[in-house]
């Protein structure tokens, strides 16, 4: 199965070239594509004949992609720099959209390396992985293949915030990502170090390598992660590097500065790794995966995986004392680290100082793989000297004899202030230059991957002269992420939270496919088969809703659902003729026990009750034919219908203002009436829409009102 492209693409040899299916394209877009092929072609040619195109139907046009082999100097449509989590998705998206793409990275073995914790997903992050997946991204599929423990977080809460998370075998993750990339026809994976972005006539023309090679391209996506001017701190020691033992991309950072981009400095840290055999497992509490494990990807059917547990312990007064006594050794507290760290992933030093009243913090021990000895100590990120780290680690229950395989460390790196980017992640002042991942000031694999996808898609669309793709805040967490990045001021690494999404109930992990698959298909990111699968799921769920709306059950007024007595469905109730839920309950002709004070309920309303579910219905004899996952979707939709509809109305109202465009030339106006802060911020961010303007910190609603006045006057004058 590994040889299949994750999107389900097929490789069909034809004229010696690989041809694969892609999404619908208008004639205009087709023209743009052949233009690409001609303009950029050296040894490839476009094999599509007009007959093929017209015969293929709207969604079945075929695009030819060269089976490029890595070469010394090359010509590509797009070059992606850095095969981290952002770079891999970016490259995959470009290939799927039919571009000749090179993915350049220092060492192929480090592809999609998990620099920090061995897990994918989690609250809000898991949502983004599902969204990526619906848009043809790789992360979900690769996680399903590399996962060793799968859990649904927040199960105790409402389904809108249920979030999938998987512990992964780190090495396996890299290998599986490499395989997924290799299965993409025509992707050139190139090893090397990018030194410079070359511009010609103000546009991106090539990526130059430090060994003198040069990869010509029409667009470049830069995803160097924590490597830009990376400096690693372990206690008093400091040395250059983006990850321990690796290089630091100094030239590339200077090149970006040379292009006029404003940079900032951030830091992040990682905890020590312990040897598996040195831990007293008996003293710890196990945290096990869900059975059966729920796959991340919409396209994975079932996971056959033997799951491994994670383990829990806690810090104590002695741990905190050791840390406090050694604070002066911390590069952070002695002022050697200038960059700002993430508040949500604080170092243990931070936790002890900032939450002095707490005498204990949780620690999770997570295996870095099935067959490796490294145990990741989640919750103890630190940049204190090695011997201090060992001291406080050993003060913790179960870790008394722990051996450290590697000390924790902090890394400081450059990032590019993301207000300099468009919502396509293209640098505003350099056409064809896209940035994604940690370089934009985010942190986390999922955030990086999400941006990689956005940058990849938009770089491809730009090369093809097609309309850009911008996902709305009410459409996807990915949309929230990009919008927050380009409109808000960031003083620390940005990480996704569900509370960042004002339309949270609409953006669920269970409906990512419903929200995005059609977009993915229209662009050519997922196959017809895939979108049909989503459509089938949706129509099955909707049909079942209609059916359940017309079945009446009797519930004794006082009893719990389980005691309800089922009433036979009215004639025709089981048919799916689309008569619809609006018809109301079918007339009931017979009551099982006329004496009982029973209440008639639509089966669907029973599901909507807090104690109701499809399973509860089954106990009443109303079986549903939906597979459990789909039945789950039906339950969410039904139970939260009122809230969901409310959010939809709010979203629609917000959209009216949200999408009101602000002309670029407006920023040349003096814009009287705005507060000084708002004027400065607006001039800097140059928001594209009124909605964006309103989200910029320092721009108050009255500023927005003023802006509306100006925009209107401007529009009239223009």
Partner 1 sequence: MPHDTIAAIATATGAAGLAVVRVSGPGALAAADAVFAGGAPLADAAANTLHHGWAVWPAAAVAGGAPARALPAQGRAPRPAGQDDVAAAKRRQAAGPPGEQSPPGRSGAAGERACTDNAGIAPGTRLDEVVVAVFRAPRSYTREDVVELSCHGGALCAARVLAALLAAGARLARPGEFTLRAFLSGRLDLAQAEAVADLIHAETESAHALAVSQLGGELSRRLAAVAEAVRDAAAEVEARVDFAEDVGGIEVPAHVVESVAAAEAALAALLAGSAWARTVREGVRVTLVGRPNAGKSSLFNALLGDARAIVTGQPGTTRDLVSEGLEVAGARVTLVDTAGLREGGDEIEALGVARARASLETSAVVLWVVDRAAPLAEEDRRIAERLAGRRVLVALNKSDLPPAVAPGEIGSLLDGVPHRAVAVSALRGDGIVELTGALAALLGTGRAGGLAGAVGNRRHADALERARAALARATGAARAGAPGEIVALELRDGLSAIGEVTGESVDEDLLDRIFSRFCVGK
Shortest Cβ 525–partner 1 spacing (Å) = 29
Q: Which is nearer to partner 1, 237 or 712 (CB)?
A: 712
Q: Which does 305 bind (CB under 5 to 8 A by kind): partner 1, ligand FAD, none?
A: none
Q: Should residue 443 be labelled a site residue for ligand FAD when binding is judged by CB under 6 A?
A: yes
Q: Should residue 249 be labelled a site residue for ligand FAD when binding is judged by CB under 6 A?
A: yes
Q: Should residue 379 be labelled a site residue for ligand FAD when binding is judged by CB under 6 A?
A: no
Q: Should residue 573 be labelled a site residue for ligand FAD when binding is judged by CB under 6 A?
A: no
Q: Which is nearer to ligand FAD, 443 or 527 (CB)?
A: 443
Is residue 431 exposed (0-12), middle (13-18) or buried (19+ Cβ within 10 Å)? middle
Shortest Cβ 457–partner 1 spacing (Å) = 28
CB 275 within 8 A of CB 405: yes
Tell me which of 660, 675, 684, 708 binds partner 1, using CB under 8 A: 675
How many C-beta atoms lie closer than 10 Å to residue 683's C-beta? 12
Q: Should residue 102 be labelled a site residue for ligand FAD when binding is judged by CB under 6 A?
A: no
Q: Tell me which residues in 554-613 interact with partner 1 (CB under 8 A).
A: 610
Tell me which of 186, 346, 408, 585 binds partner 1, using CB under 8 A: 346
Q: What are phi and psi of 243, to 5 degrees?
A: -140, 160
Q: Which does 351 bind (CB under 5 to 8 A by kind): ligand FAD, partner 1, none?
A: partner 1
CB 84 within 8 A of CB 448: yes
DSSP β-bridge partners for residue 327: none
Q: Which is nearer to ligand FAD, 270 or 464 (CB)?
A: 270
Q: Which is nearer to ligand FAD, 45 or 238 (CB)?
A: 238
In Å, what is the CA distance from 301 to each residue of 179, 204, 293, 526? 19, 42, 11, 17
Q: Tell me which residues in 392-451 interact with partner 1 (CB under 8 A).
A: none
Tell me which of 6, 23, 40, 84 binds ligand FAD, using CB under 6 A: 84
Shortest Cβ 220–ligand FAD spacing (Å) = 11
Q: Which is nearer to ligand FAD, 208 or 542 (CB)?
A: 208
Q: Should residue 233 be labelled a site residue for partner 1 when binding is judged by CB under 8 A?
A: no
Is residue 705 exposed (0-12), middle (13-18) or buried (19+ Cβ within 10 Å)? exposed
Tell me which of 13, 16, 335, 670 binds partner 1, using CB under 8 A: 670
Q: What are phi and psi of 347, to 5 degrees?
A: -70, 160
Q: Should residue 116 be labelled a site residue for ligand FAD when binding is judged by CB under 6 A?
A: yes
Q: Which does 307 bind (CB under 5 to 8 A by kind): ligand FAD, partner 1, none?
A: none
Q: Tell me which residues in 338-357 interact with ligand FAD (CB under 6 A).
A: 345
Tell me which of 106, 135, 384, 634 binds ligand FAD, using CB under 6 A: 106
Is residue 257 exposed (0-12), middle (13-18) or buried (19+ Cβ within 10 Å)? middle
Q: Should residue 83 be labelled a site residue for ligand FAD when binding is judged by CB under 6 A?
A: yes
Shortest Cβ 495–partner 1 spacing (Å) = 9
For 262, how many CA atoms within 13 A lie in the half-sphere containing its CB? 8
Q: Which of 274, 494, 580 is nearest to 401 (CA)?
A: 274
Q: Should residue 713 be labelled a site residue for partner 1 when binding is judged by CB under 8 A?
A: yes
Q: Should residue 123 be labelled a site residue for partner 1 when binding is judged by CB under 8 A?
A: yes
Is residue 627 exposed (0-12), middle (13-18) or buried (19+ Cβ within 10 Å)? exposed
Give the distance between the most distant pair of CA atoms in the chain.
Answer: 91
Shortest Cβ 504–partner 1 spacing (Å) = 6
| First and final C-alpha spacing in the chain | 58
Q: Which does 354 bind (CB under 5 to 8 A by kind): ligand FAD, partner 1, none?
A: partner 1
DSSP β-bridge partners for residue 147: 168
Q: What is the dihedral of CA 55, 57, 58, 63, to 10 degrees?
A: -50
DSSP β-bridge partners for residue 689: 661
Q: Which does 706 bind (CB under 5 to 8 A by kind): partner 1, ligand FAD, none?
A: partner 1
* Residue environment code for 587-616, b if the CB has 16+ CB neighbours within 10 A, otherwise e: eeeeeeeeeeebeebbbbbbbbeeebbbeb
Q: What are phi and psi of 644, to 5 degrees?
A: -65, -45
Q: What are phi and psi of 259, to 5 degrees?
A: -80, 0
What would the DSSP string read from start to end of 17-61?
A: EEEEE-----HHHHHHHHHHHHHH-SS------HHHHHHH-TT--
Q: Should residue 631 be labelled a site residue for ligand FAD when binding is judged by CB under 6 A?
A: no
Contacts with 535 (C-beta within 8 Å, 6 or more apart), sequence order: none
DSSP state of 97: T
In Å, what is the CA distance from 690 to each residue of 236, 664, 716? 48, 12, 17
Contacts with 172 (C-beta within 8 Å, 6 or more apart), sequence order: 145, 146, 369, 370
Q: Which is nearer to partner 1, 82 or 342 (CB)?
A: 342
Is residue 50 exposed (0-12), middle (13-18) or buried (19+ Cβ within 10 Å)? exposed
**Coil, strand, or helix at residue 500?**
helix
Q: Tell me which residues in 124-183 interact with partner 1 (CB under 8 A).
A: 124, 153-154, 156-158, 160-161
Q: Which does 697 bind (CB under 5 to 8 A by kind): partner 1, ligand FAD, none?
A: partner 1
Q: Tell me which residues in 487-546 interact with partner 1 (CB under 8 A).
A: 497-500, 502, 504-505
Q: Should residue 224 be labelled a site residue for ligand FAD when binding is judged by CB under 6 A?
A: yes
Q: Should residue 171 be labelled a site residue for ligand FAD when binding is judged by CB under 6 A?
A: no
* Choices 81-89, 149-157, 500-508, 531-539 (CB under 6 A): range interacting with ligand FAD: 81-89
Shortest Cβ 60–partner 1 spacing (Å) = 41
CB 594 within 8 A of CB 567: no
Q: Which residue has the tokens 């050519």?
A: 524
Q: Tell me which residues in 485-544 interact with ligand FAD (CB under 6 A).
A: none
Q: Which is nearer to partner 1, 87 or 271 (CB)?
A: 271
101-105/78-81 β-pairing: parallel
Q: Which is nearer to ligand FAD, 255 or 534 (CB)?
A: 255
Q: Should residue 270 be labelled a site residue for ligand FAD when binding is judged by CB under 6 A?
A: yes
Q: Which residue has the tokens 């919008």?
A: 483
Q: Which is nearer to partner 1, 209 or 704 (CB)?
A: 704
Tell me which of 160, 284, 380, 411 binds ligand FAD, using CB under 6 A: 411
Q: What are phi and psi of 92, to 5 degrees?
A: -60, -45
Q: Which is nearer to ligand FAD, 105 or 475 (CB)?
A: 105
How many residues touch ligand FAD (CB under 6 A)? 35
For the chain, helix, strand, coil in percent to 5 are 40, 20, 40
Q: Should residue 706 be labelled a site residue for partner 1 when binding is judged by CB under 8 A?
A: yes
Tell me which of 118, 342, 418, 452 binds partner 1, using CB under 8 A: 342
Q: Which does 193 bind (CB under 5 to 8 A by kind): partner 1, ligand FAD, none?
A: ligand FAD
**Using CB under 8 A as the criterion, which residues of the chain lie in contact with partner 1 when the complex forms?**
123-124, 153-154, 156-158, 160-161, 342-346, 351, 354-355, 358, 361-362, 364, 378-379, 497-500, 502, 504-505, 610, 643, 646-647, 669-675, 694, 697, 700-702, 705-706, 709-710, 713-714, 716-717
**Using CB under 6 A as the criterion, which residues of the chain lie in contact with ligand FAD when the complex forms?**
81-87, 104-106, 110, 115-116, 193-194, 223-227, 242-243, 249, 252, 268-270, 345, 411, 437-438, 443-445, 448
């Amino acid at each position: 199965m590994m040889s299949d492209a994750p999107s389900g693409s097929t490789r069909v040899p034809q004229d010696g070239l690989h041809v694969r299916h892609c999404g619908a394209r208008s004639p205009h877009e087709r023209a743009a594509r052949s233009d690409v092929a001609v303009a950029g072609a050296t040894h490839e040619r476009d094999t599509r004949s007009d007959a093929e195109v017209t015969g293929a139907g709207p969604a079945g046009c075929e695009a030819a992609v060269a089976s490029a082999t890595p070469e010394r100097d090359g010509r590509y449509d797009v070059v992606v720099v850095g095969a981290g989590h952002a770079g891999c998705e970016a490259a995959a998206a470009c290939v799927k959209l039919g571009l000749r793409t090179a993915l350049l990275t220092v060492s192929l073995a480090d592809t999609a390396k998990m620099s920090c914790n061995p897990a994918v997903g989690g609250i809000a992050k898991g949502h983004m992985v599902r969204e990526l997946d619906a848009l043809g991204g790789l992360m979900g599929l690769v996680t399903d293949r590399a996962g060793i423990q799968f859990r649904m977080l927040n199960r105790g809460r409402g389904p809108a915030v249920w979030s999938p998370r998987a512990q992964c075998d780190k090495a396996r993750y890299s290998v599986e990502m490499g395989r997924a990339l290799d299965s993409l026809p025509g992707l050139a994976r190139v090893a090397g170090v990018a030194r410079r972005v070359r511009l010609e006539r103000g546009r991106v023309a090539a990526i130059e390598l430090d060994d003198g090679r040069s990869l010509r391209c029409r667009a470049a996506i830069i995803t160097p992660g924590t490597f830009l001017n990376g400096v690693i701190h372990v206690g008093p020691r400091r040395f250059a590097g983006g990850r321990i033992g690796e290089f630091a991309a100094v030239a590339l950072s200077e090149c970006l500065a040379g292009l006029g981009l404003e940079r900032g400095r951030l830091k992040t840290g990682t905890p020590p790794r312990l040897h598996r055999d040195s831990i007293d497992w008996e003293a710890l509490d196990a945290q096990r995966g869900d059975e059966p494990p729920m796959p991340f990807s919409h396209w994975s059917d079932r996971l056959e995986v033997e799951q491994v547990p994670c383990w829990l312990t806690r810090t104590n007064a002695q741990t905190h004392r050791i840390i406090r006594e050694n604070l002066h050794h911390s590069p952070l507290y002695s002022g050697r680290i200038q960059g700002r760290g993430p508040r949500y992933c604080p170092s243990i030093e931070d936790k002890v100082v900032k939450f002095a009243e707490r005498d204990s913090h949780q620690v999770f021990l997570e295996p870095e793989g099935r067959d490796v000895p490294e145990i990741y100590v989640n919750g103890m990120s630190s940049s204190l000297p090695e011997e201090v780290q060992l001291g406080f680690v050993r003060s913790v229950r179960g870790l008394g004899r722990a051996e450290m395989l590697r000390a924790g460390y902090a890394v400081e790196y450059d990032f590019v202030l993301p207000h300099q980017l468009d919502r396509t992640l293209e640098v505003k002042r350099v056409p064809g230059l896209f940035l994604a991942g940690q370089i934009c000031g985010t942190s986390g694999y999922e955030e990086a991957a999400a941006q990689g996808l956005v940058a990849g898609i938009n770089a491809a669309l730009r090369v093809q002269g097609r309309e850009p793709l911008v996902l709305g805040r009410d459409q996807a967490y990915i949309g929230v992420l990009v919008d927050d990045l380009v409109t808000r001021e960031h003083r620390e690494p940005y990480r996704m939270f569900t509370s960042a999404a004002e339309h949270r109930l609409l953006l669920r992990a269970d409906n990512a496919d419903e929200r995005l698959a059609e977009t993915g298909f229209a662009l050519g990111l997922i196959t017809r088969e895939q979108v049909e699968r989503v459509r089938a799921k949706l129509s099955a769920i909707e049909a079942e809703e209609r059916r359940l709306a017309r079945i009446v059950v009797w519930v004794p007024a006082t009893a719990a659902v389980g005691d309800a007595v089922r009433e036979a469905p009215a004639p025709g109730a089981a048919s799916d003729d689309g008569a619809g839920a609006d018809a109301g309950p079918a007339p009931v002709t017979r009551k099982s026990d006329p004496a009982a004070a029973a209440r008639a309920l639509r089966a669907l309303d029973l599901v909507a009750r807090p104690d109701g579910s499809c399973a509860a219905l089954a106990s009443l004899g109303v079986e549903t034919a939906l597979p459990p996952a789909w039945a789950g979707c039906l339950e969410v939709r039904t139970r939260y219908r009122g809230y969901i509809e409310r959010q939809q109305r709010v979203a629609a109202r917000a959209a009216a203002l949200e999408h009101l465009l602000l002309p670029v030339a407006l920023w040349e106006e003096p814009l009287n009436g705005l507060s000084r802060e708002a004027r400065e911020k607006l001039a800097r961010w140059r928001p594209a829409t009124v909605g964006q303007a309103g989200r910029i910190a320092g721009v108050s609603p009255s500023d927005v009102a003023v802006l509306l006045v100006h925009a209107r006057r401007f529009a009239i004058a223009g």
